[in-house]
Amino acid sequence: MSALADHRIDRISTRKLHDHYPRTVGRNARLGSHGSGGTYTVTVVHTDQGASGWGIALGDVDPCQPLVGRRVEDVFDPALGVTEPTAMPLDLALHDLAGRLLDQPVYAMLGAAGSTTVPCYDAAIYFDDLDPDDDPRGLDAVLANCAADHALGHRAFKLKIGRGNRWMAAADGVARDIEVTRAVRAAYPDARILVDANDGYPAERFVDYLEAVADCGLYWIEEPFPETHEDLRRLRGDLKRLGSTALIADGEARPDIPLLLDLAAGGLLDVLLMDVVSYGFTAWRQVMPEVVAAGVAASPHAWGQPLKSLYAAHIAAGLGNVAVVEGVPGHTTGVEPASYHLVEGSIELSSAPGFGVELSPHEGAHE
């Protein structure tokens, strides 16, 4: 541990990174186009000994500036994560820094409870059948996206559903959701298929979709409707009646931990999805034993940046209890090598220290 005592925080700087999805990603049940990538800020924590660690910032890092001069050991414990509340926006950067100072990958610091080959699903199958507005491409657009991502190494697909929430008449939306699900299953008989409605279904009507895809062997159902005991109890009953083994995943939109743990302990949820960045590494380390005690699995939400898939994979390999992580296809300029390596549907983590990804020299640098 002496490495963390020997280094003092000398400077906190920021860098811009740029993501490039393989294509423009369209609508989901709630939101319009998800764009083709975008620019975001990462934070770099430098020490007085010349070391540094970096990560996506958890909110505004200006309040962290008073930490300059503090020993790394004063704000971070490798066994726990961030221990000084002021340093919480640096959660990811400090995990990376501590890994580098201790010469170990973050997953090892977390306990190495899972495999470093982490199954991953393609999370970029949106409502591209509806675009462009004046000449919608239809089902073929969705199948083309699956084929393109399969070529990138993806072997499991999460299909956005809930077209009837905003973009189509309710019955037409359900019919298209069914058509898409059945077509992807027919094209990929062995693939895990996950579906995500972003809470876009009327709870009492989700069964219409479910019955029509009962033979598709769904792996998981994510946020079909806002989570309540009553509606999830009905869903559990419908799944049982239909002989479905689909997992129920929730907790992305509303990380209300007491409610989620209560639903989990009551047998109404199977996978908890709090975001890997906004909920955070330190919080995940604290809550995972409770998730295990509730008898359910975890899969930290990772959409928006390919780097978040890498972070989620470190949680999986470090804390265990994660069967599959969310894969954001694309590449990031400003980092070397790639954000993550995908081989036959799994992220292969390297044993490099920290998160194992370096910032490119100079590119996009600013203070």
The site for Mg ion (CB under 5 A) is made up of: 196, 252
- In angstroms, the CA 33 to CA 214 distance is 30
When CB distances to Mg ion are compared, the closest residue is 196
256 token code pair? 């209300």
Closest to Mg ion by CB, 108 or 124: 124
Q: How far is the CB of 284 from Mg ion (least distance, A)?
A: 17
Q: Using an 8 Å Cβ cutoff, are 349 and 314 in contact?
A: yes
What's the one-letter identity of residue 111?
G
Closest to Mg ion by CB, 252 or 270: 252
Closest to Mg ion by CB, 102 or 197: 197
b/e burial code for range 222-248 (CB count within 10 A of at least 16 → b): bbbbebeeebbeebbeebeeeebebbb
Q: How far is the CB of 198 from Mg ion (least distance, A)?
A: 6
Q: How far is the CB of 193 from Mg ion (least distance, A)?
A: 15
Q: How far is the CB of 199 from Mg ion (least distance, A)?
A: 9
Closest to Mg ion by CB, 191 or 274: 274
Q: How far is the CB of 308 from Mg ion (least distance, A)?
A: 13
Compute φ and ψ for 112, nearest 5 degrees: 50, 45
b/e burial code for range 193-203 (CB count within 10 A of at least 16 → b): bbbbbbbbbeb
Closest to Mg ion by CB, 196 or 231: 196
Closest to Mg ion by CB, 104 or 145: 145
The SS3 of residue 219 is coil
The SS3 of residue 63 is helix
- In angstroms, the CA 81 to CA 44 distance is 17
Closest to Mg ion by CB, 96 or 252: 252
Q: How far is the CB of 328 from Mg ion (least distance, A)?
A: 12
CB count in 10 Å sphere of residue 256 = 13
Q: How far is the CB of 365 from Mg ion (least distance, A)?
A: 33
Closest to Mg ion by CB, 110 or 264: 264
- In angstroms, the CA 9 to CA 45 distance is 7
Q: How far is the CB of 72 from Mg ion (least distance, A)?
A: 35
CB under 8 A, 24+ apart: contacts of 206-209: 206/235, 206/238, 207/234, 207/238, 208/174, 209/161, 209/174, 209/177, 209/178, 209/181
Strands 156-160 and 192-196: parallel
